[in-house]
Amino acid sequence: MRVLVISDVHANLSALSAVLDDAADQYDTIWSLGDIVGYGPRPNECIAALCEHEHVAVPGNHDYGVLGRIALSDFNPDARGANLWTRAQLTPPSLQYLSGLPEKIVIGEFTLAHGSPREPVWGYLLYPRTAYDSMAFFDTPVCLVGHTHVPVIYAAGDGEAVALPPQPGVTVLLDDGRYIINPGSVGQPRDGNPAASYMLLDTVARSFSHRRVSYDVARTQADMRSFGLSPRLIARLDQGW
Ligand code: ZN
């Protein structure tokens, strides 16, 4: 099976559309690792665009924020403001879609979660140490996560995990070890590269390809401006932070 692995779309329809175009005909299904909404200007449209494709999805902390399942006091002011705006925009079908997502999904050799296998919605895997400690909390060879908006492959070694920064266009073959893999963010990359980030997975070949695609950032920013979203959230899309 060929899988388009995406995460952290954050209501950025221009970025999601660019990824879907770029990956067209190269995947059979989509795995979405959460935060389809929050920050960006087109939450309903992004849910609708995803639902046009065969896919599975887990919820992220922003998705849970709009549903009222986690307290917005845990969000920074920009995230909180955007989340309240998003909450007011979401249609009943969008809310119904988000409220039905399971926090963790296991498909064959892969566990899907937003933050970490230990704390699926809120956990952060920012360092090899925490990635290594998380290996005990899933049973499959590979766990796919998002949440940090930074693409990375953590490979479990002897008593530690090694972080392998994925190179765009380079295919990585998985060996018999264990991995935690983050495809990066479609709609708000934070690794200094503003291009939308995603991965293509071949479950038979056991290979991952990291991809970056530029999108119409100005269009997303103009939408955000017209809806009165935070200038800081608008500015960060230019630089990828
Ligand atoms: Zn996110």
Residue 73 has pLDDT above 90, yes or no: no
CA 123 – ligand 1 centroid, Å: 12
CA 153 – ligand 1 centroid, Å: 18
Stretch 54-78: mean pLDDT: 94
| Predicted local confidence at residue 173, as pLDDT | 94
Residue 103 has pLDDT above 90, yes or no: yes
Stretch 168-192: mean pLDDT: 95
CA 155 – ligand 1 centroid, Å: 22
Judge whether 208 and 166 are in contact, CB under 8 Å. yes
| Predicted local confidence at residue 165, as pLDDT | 86
Domains with residue ranges and CATH for the chain: 2-237 (3.60.21.10)
Q: What is the enclosing helix (H) or strand (E) of 162?
A: strand 161-164
Instruction: Say how far apart CA 115 and CA 117 lie, in whole Å.
Output: 7
| Predicted local confidence at residue 125, as pLDDT | 93
CA 169 – ligand 1 centroid, Å: 23
Q: 22-26, 124-128, 144-148: lowest mean pLDDT where?
A: 124-128
| Predicted local confidence at residue 115, as pLDDT | 98
CA 10 – ligand 1 centroid, Å: 7
Instruction: Say how far apart CA 166 and CA 221 lie, in whole Å.
Output: 28
Phi, psi of 158 (to 5 degrees): -85, 95
How many CB atoms neighbour CB 239 within 10 A?
12
CA 114 – ligand 1 centroid, Å: 9
CA dihedral 108, 10, 64, 143 (to 10 degrees): 20
Instruction: Say how far apart CA 223 and CA 60 lie, in whole Å.
Output: 23
- Tell me the pLDDT band of 104, cut-offs 50, 70 and 90: very high
CA 32 – ligand 1 centroid, Å: 12
CA 158 – ligand 1 centroid, Å: 31
Judge whether 183 and 210 are in contact, CB under 8 Å. yes
Task: Collapse the DSSP code of 189 into the 3-class scheme (helix H, G, I; strand E, B; otherwise coil) and give the result.
Answer: coil
DSSP secondary-structure letter at 170?
-
Q: 10-14, 16-20, 39-43, 171-175: lowest mean pLDDT where?
A: 171-175
Q: 2-16, 20-34, 92-106, 163-177: lowest mean pLDDT where?
A: 163-177
Q: In this predicted model, what pLDDT tens digit does every residue of 196-218 receive, in sequence order?
A: 999 999 999 999 999 999 999 99
Instruction: Give pTM, 2 decimals.
Output: 0.97
Q: In this predicted model, what pLDDT tens digit does every residue of 33-51 receive, in sequence order?
A: 999 999 999 999 999 999 9
CA 77 – ligand 1 centroid, Å: 15
- Tell me the pLDDT band of 74, cut-offs 50, 70 and 90: confident
